[in-house]
Amino acid sequence: MTNTIKETNFKLPGQTNFYKGKVRDVYTVNNEILVMVASDRISAFDHVLPEGIPYKGQVLSQIAAKFLESTADIVPNWMEATPDPSVTVGKMCTPFKVEMVIRGYLTGHAWREYKLGKRTICGVSMPDGMVENQKFETPILTPTTKADIGHDEDISREEILSQGLVSESDYIKLEEYTRALFQRGSDIAEKKGLILVDTKYEFGTDKDGVITLIDEIHTPDSSRYFYAEGYQKKLSSGESPKQLSKEFVRQWLIENGFQGKEGQSIPFMSDEYCKSVSERYIELFEYITGDKFVKENVDDVINRVEQNILDYLSA
């Protein structure tokens, strides 16, 4: 697709570092400020797919900004400004080396493990007799390591503490924040006719050592949503609930013979397919925010983003 943000190569005033993630391009300015560009790249099975998804970065950035604002009373977060619909600017933090994953339902990775006969994930027991997409009695915490290269790996609370990845006092706070954020996200989703199924949160410490929520939250890249309507009926009949998340991309890849394994090729992504993915992302935006999505002008999207960042930094 043309007019998507597949990569950026800005040279910002005071730029001291640049990091290209699977989806985000992150610029450090004066070793104090982070400028995070949500690209239109899409990843699955730890691979960045070859085509960009129109408006995906704008969707992610604007959903994340809305949820960061609506959860600031629970935990401080890194966001300071949104100078462009695809850009967030905020304070630089030192990330913890784990990601906090919380699951309210047996689906996705947890279900794939369960189907193999495993009844423990990340040191947490899962009851026998559950079916795919069933609700856990209490949401379970299944943290992962935060890998710079390759796959994030499941890890238990005990392993995190024994390896010294996070201190016990900090980890207790991370658990508390994770459960509180998930409850807030679930409450908001319920009012919109959605179920927040599972999600991940990333935390760090700011220059004063304060635990701070970083990155994005409650977006379709970091979270999974079901439509509440019809969920119980589909569960009872063994059907998959209608969902709004990136899982539909993973399923498409699986159906087309790709799970990120050696020797497998990423299937061709037609313009029509990319447009359909874009429409799903926009649909989620409108459901979860309750706002009409306004497509920003993408005739010269890279220059637009760069100019808005420069205007902000020079103000």
Q: pLDDT (tens digit, 9 = 90+) per residue, 222-266?
A: 899 999 999 999 999 999 998 877 878 988 999 999 999 999 999
Of residues 51, 26, 54, 50, the one with CA closest to residue 38: 26
At 126 the pLDDT is 97
Q: Is 226 helix (H, G, I), strand (E, B) or coil?
A: strand
What pTM was estimated for this model as a whole?
A: 0.89
Check residue 151 and give its pLDDT: 65
The overall average pLDDT reported for the chain is 94
What pLDDT is stored for residue 287 in this prediction? Answer: 87
Cα pseudo-dihedral 151, 176, 24, 20, rounded to 10: -50
Residue range 17-70, pLDDT digits in tens:
999 998 999 999 999 999 999 999 999 988 999 999 999 999 999 999 999 999
Q: How confident is the model at residue 315 (pLDDT cuts 50, 70, 90)?
A: confident
Q: Which pLDDT band, with edges at 50, 70 and 90, does 1 fall under?
A: very low
- Using an 8 Å Cβ cutoff, are 220 and 59 in contact? yes
pLDDT of residue 130: 97
Judge whether residue 150 has pLDDT over 90.
Answer: no
pLDDT tens, residue by residue, 153-182: 999 999 999 999 999 999 999 999 999 999
Q: What is the pLDDT of residue 146?
A: 80
Q: What is the rounded CA–CA span in Å between residue 263 and residue 278? A: 28
